[in-house]
């Protein structure tokens, strides 16, 4: 199984996806570099940051992204473009939207205009419409930041900028990052726009060209890259709430009537670690019904010809806890396509300083566990040399320099962990807590350990899979 295999004598392989699609190679070693993430999206080369324009159309998930086509650091902001049929295997296309006299191309969103409200459709394909910030400070002749539109009539392969851009004039400071959604009850387009400090604005439009301000919203301690979406509470489609999201991971839950968002919570932190500018896909079919999110997980990639990566795509849900309705996040089920070999323990006792995973190793890993804490003070996973520790007394989950409160349920915790060459992602108690840590892992250490410290715990479930690369 190569470098990704689990090294153990028990258990056979589980099979997996035969073949994948990825960007065309320009050299034999491309996508095999020492610190190239093997199942997280990275550009073929050069810098990326915010995910942009996430939209699903005719079997393809479109992922646009802030991209510097000419350098390894931030600059020359352009919309790069990749597509996927399964949210896991990505094929990078040519850049979609490039700088012009209005400025470089900052973050934004995209939708399918199913009813051609904009009048841009020319042909049988439904038109895809992208909203982005024209970053005037970086224009040939500097000017204020404004909001612009581009559209595609060929399934996102080529893009035409609207001749009367910008569609939203300058409002305040470096106002930017338009997120546009369709509000079905009022048959209206709604735009969430970042203004300044922790101030945001909702606007409405019938044709995507003329926009009317509706309401200013303050999301304390947050800035940039808003998102705005509706979710059922506890899976009940008859009981929904809207989530107003800020680019640093804070959000509020409330109601929306097409004109006014009424918060029911203060700003809530959704993550631990660097997980920035996250956005959700629009136009996922109702037959699927998921709200799927991806974010930028900033990290170091020493000596590489590319820079930065995105998180694994995650499914979002709203669930009710003692403290109220909260957003939860778990990896999309499509990650299962990468599973190769599996090691499983159905039940067993973890004792003081005694591990149960002796002889197991792997470079790319997925770990799913449920552990009864018993009387132990600590439960410790060590994944490729990196400890993931749960302190039972403090009810705290810890990894590297990050920690999060994690309350056990019936004295049990559940941990779902993904390990790539340059990151560890942890989803605890079915997504109630999520941690994103991006750093280059020790290439010489592929060991896996699990043990209790100062007491005994019990493994109720433990599955570890080796994963294969998405790049072929």
Using the structure block, give the residue that is written with the tokens 């079915």: 430
Residue 200's H or E segment, with its range, is strand 199-205
Rounded Cα gap, residues 99 and 76, in angstroms: 8
End-to-end CA distance of the chain: 14
Residue 50: active-site member: yes
> Catalytic pick from 50, 177, 283, 420?
50
Which two structure tokens, joined as six digits, stand for 379? Answer: 């439960």
Rounded Cα gap, residues 468 and 472, in angstroms: 10
DSSP letters, 293-340, are EEEEE----TT-SEE-EEPPPEEEEEEEETTEEEEEEEE-GGGGGGEE
Rounded Cα gap, residues 185 and 73, in angstroms: 44
DSSP state of 114: T
Chain centroid to CA 113: how far? 24
Rounded Cα gap, residues 23 and 73, in angstroms: 21
Chain centroid to CA 52: how far? 11
Q: Output the CA–CA distances (angstroms, integers) from residue 315 to 32, 147, 334, 419, 465, in the order listed.
A: 28, 29, 11, 18, 20
Q: How do beta strands 433-438 and 272-273 pair?
A: parallel
DSSP state of 197: T
Rounded Cα gap, residues 180 and 202, in angstroms: 10
Cβ–Cβ under 8 Å, residues 278 and 293 = yes
Rounded Cα gap, residues 203 and 18, in angstroms: 46
Other C-beta atoms within 10 Å of 138: how many?
Answer: 18
Q: How do beta strands 46-57 and 306-307 pair?
A: parallel
Q: CA Rg, the chain, in Å?
A: 23
The set of catalytic residues is: 50
């Amino acid at each position: 199984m190569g470098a990704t295999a689990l090294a153990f004598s028990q258990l056979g392989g589980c099979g997996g996806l035969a073949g994948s699609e990825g960007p065309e190679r320009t050299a034999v070693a491309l996508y095999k570099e020492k610190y190239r993430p093997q199942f997280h999206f990275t550009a073929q080369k050069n810098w990326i940051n915010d995910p942009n324009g996430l939209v699903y159309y005719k079997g393809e998930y479109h992922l646009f992204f802030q991209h510097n086509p000419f350098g390894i650091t931030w600059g020359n902001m352009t919309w790069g473009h990749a597509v996927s049929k399964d949210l896991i295997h990505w094929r990078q296309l040519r850049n979609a939207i490039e700088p012009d006299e209005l400025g470089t191309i900052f973050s934004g969103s995209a939708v399918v205009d199913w009813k051609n409200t904009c009048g841009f459709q020319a042909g049988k394909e439904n038109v895809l419409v992208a909203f982005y910030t024209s970053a005037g400070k970086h224009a040939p002749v500097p000017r204020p930041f404004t909001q612009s539109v581009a559209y595609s009539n060929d399934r996102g392969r080529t893009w035409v900028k609207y001749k009367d851009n910008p569609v939203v004039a300058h409002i305040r400071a470096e106002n930017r990052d338009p997120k546009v959604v369709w509000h079905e009850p009022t048959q209206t387009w709604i735009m969430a726009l970042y203004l300044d400090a922790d101030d945001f604005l909702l606007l409405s439009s019938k044709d995507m060209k003329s926009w009317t301000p509706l309401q200013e919203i303050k999301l304390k301690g947050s800035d940039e890259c808003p998102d705005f979406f509706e979710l059922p509470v506890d899976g009940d489609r008859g009981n929904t709430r809207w989530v107003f999201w800020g680019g640093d991971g804070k959000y509020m839950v409330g109601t929306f009537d097409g004109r006014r968002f009424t918060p029911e919570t203060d700003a809530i932190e959704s993550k631990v670690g660097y997980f920035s500018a996250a956005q959700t896909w629009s136009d996922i079919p109702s037959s699927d019904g998921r709200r799927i999110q991806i974010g930028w997980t900033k990290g170091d990639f020493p000596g590489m010809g590319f820079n930065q990566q995105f998180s694994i795509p995650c499914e979002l849900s709203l669930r009710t806890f003692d403290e109220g309705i909260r957003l939860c996040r778990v990896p999309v089920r499509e990650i299962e396509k990468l599973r190769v070999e599996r090691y499983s323990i159905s039940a067993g006792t973890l004792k003081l300083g005694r591990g149960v995973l002796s002889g197991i190793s792997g470079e790319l890993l997925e770990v799913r566990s449920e552990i009864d804490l018993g009387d132990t003070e600590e439960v410790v996973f060590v994944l490729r040399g990196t400890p993931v520790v749960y302190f039972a007394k403090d009810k705290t989950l810890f990894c590297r320099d990050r920690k999060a409160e994690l309350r056990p349920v019936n004295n049990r915790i559940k941990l779902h962990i993904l390990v790539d060459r340059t990151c560890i992602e942890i989803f605890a108690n079915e997504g109630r807590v999520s941690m994103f840590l991006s750093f280059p892992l020790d290439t010489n250490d592929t060991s896996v350990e699990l043990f209790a410290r100062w007491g005994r715990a019990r493994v109720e479930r433990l599955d570890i899979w080796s994963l294969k690369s998405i790049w072929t």
